[in-house]
Amino acid sequence: MMTLATSHRKLYSRESIGDSMTRSRKMSGKMTTKQLQQRLDTIETEFHGFGNAAATELMKHNQLIYGLLSDLGKLETIKCENCGEEISRPILKGIENTDECPSCGKSLFVVTLDDFGGEEE
């Protein structure tokens, strides 16, 4: 959760740079455009680096959790009836699984026709 807090801080500082940019233009600048650009570049690089690190971290966690669940036999694999994608989902108490396919957004079990035809209730 530490990393998430960092991300917010980075986002805010990015916004405040936007503010100072408008302000400095009015007050004939504390910071030159070049300096500002350099700062923005640094922040962008850091932000990008953070994004990558977070994505990698998330992926690691995901693999870990799913690996663990699979090992415990707490993972079911369902083949989507609509798009044929294989979906793994946890079988755990207290976790409600949706029957909606994350890949195509339709039901995993019932073949849905694209056009429903009418709005009958």
Can residue 89 be called a binding residue for Zn ion (CB under 5 A)? Answer: no
- CB closer to Zn ion out of 36 and 78: 78
Which one of 7-15, 21-29, 55-63, 94-102 is the stretch in contact with Zn ion (CB under 5 A)? 94-102
For the CB of residue 107, give the shortest distance to Zn ion in the complex, in Å.
8
For the CB of residue 112, give the shortest distance to Zn ion in the complex, in Å.
9
Show the beta-strand stretches assigned E in the chain.
Answer: 75-79, 86-90
The number of residues making up the chain comes to: 121
Six-digit token pair at 84?
A: 């044929």
Which one of 32-40, 46-54, 63-71, 83-91 is the stretch in contact with Zn ion (CB under 5 A)? 83-91
Can residue 103 be called a binding residue for Zn ion (CB under 5 A)? Answer: yes
For the CB of residue 31, give the shortest distance to Zn ion in the complex, in Å.
51
Q: Please say whether the beta carbons of 90 and 71 come within 8 A.
A: no
- 33 phi-psi bin (left φ>0, alpha ψ -120 to 50, beta other): alpha
Q: What distance in Å separates the CA atoms of residue 31 and residue 102, rounded to the nearest whole number?
A: 47
Q: Tell me phi and psi for residue 109, to 5 degrees.
A: -110, -25
Binding site for Zn ion (CB under 5 A): 80, 82-83, 85, 101, 103-104
